[in-house]
Amino acid sequence: MGISRKVGHNGARRIVKVTWDAKPVESEIMTVRDDWIDYNGHLNMAYYNVLFDTAVDEVFHRLGMGPDYVKTRGGSFFTAEVHVCYLRELSAGMKVIATLQLVDFDAKRAHFYQELRHAEEGWLSATSEQLSLHVDMNARKVAPWPEDIAANLTALSQAHASLPRPERAGRHIEIRKKP
């Protein structure tokens, strides 16, 4: 992935061009903390979301919506919907990595799928599918992505266009009745 940057009129750094590889974007390696372990002796469900959210922040920073985005441009992104599947337990001290694949996006929304894997052994621990909304923080309303952010999302979408739709994407909750 390559990033070109320029300084805007107010001194804020804006991403003007991002290139992506044709594979899910990988997060930095993260470590399961001791204080995230619940009374069952495994990672508490809330902290799976912390790990997924940390990975989302890394990608959205690359897209141009880093920590200063609210302050310098008056925009942010909110999670509107999320579906997490817990597949294998994580314990304190384990190293994990998350991947993100952009499934779709439009003028105001981004739909993406993530996997959380053991960083050394590669097994799948959890998946997360999310819908994020771009928000004008001054109006506190959903608003279109700025042109440069939309261009970066387009570049990511084009890079991910050749990827198969994740097998676990689009899941829903139900108890299937036996005939």
Over the stretch 126-144, which tens digit does the pLDDT of each residue have?
999 999 999 999 999 999 9
> Among 7-21, 60-74, 95-109, 137-151, where is mean pLDDT lowest?
7-21
* Average predicted confidence (pLDDT) for the chain: 92
The alpha carbon torsion through 154, 160, 162, 165 (nearest 10 deg) reads -120
Predicted local confidence at residue 143, as pLDDT: 98
Q: DSSP letters along 47-107, please?
A: HHHHHHHHHHHHHHHHHT--TTHHHHHSEEEEEEEEEEEE-S---TT-EEEEEEEEEEE-S
Q: Among 105, 102, 99, which Cα is nearest to 150's? A: 105
Instruction: Quick: pLDDT tens for 148-159.
Output: 999 999 999 999
> What is the residue whose two structure tokens read 């314990």?
91
Render pLDDT for 80-111 as a digit per residue (tens, 0 to 9). 999 999 999 999 999 999 999 999 999 999 99
Residue 15 has pLDDT above 60, yes or no: no
Q: What domains are there in the chain, each with its CATH number?
A: 3-160 (3.10.129.10)
With bands split at pLDDT 50, 70 and 90, how would you rate the model's confidence at 14? low
Q: Give the pLDDT confidence score for residue 2 in this predicted structure.
A: 44
Measured between alpha carbons, how far is residue 102 from residues 94, 95, 132 in Å?
A: 26, 24, 11
Distance CA 60, CA 138 (A): 20
pLDDT in tens, 162-174: 999 999 999 989 9
Residue 6: pLDDT band (50, 70, 90) is very low
pLDDT above 70: residue 7: no
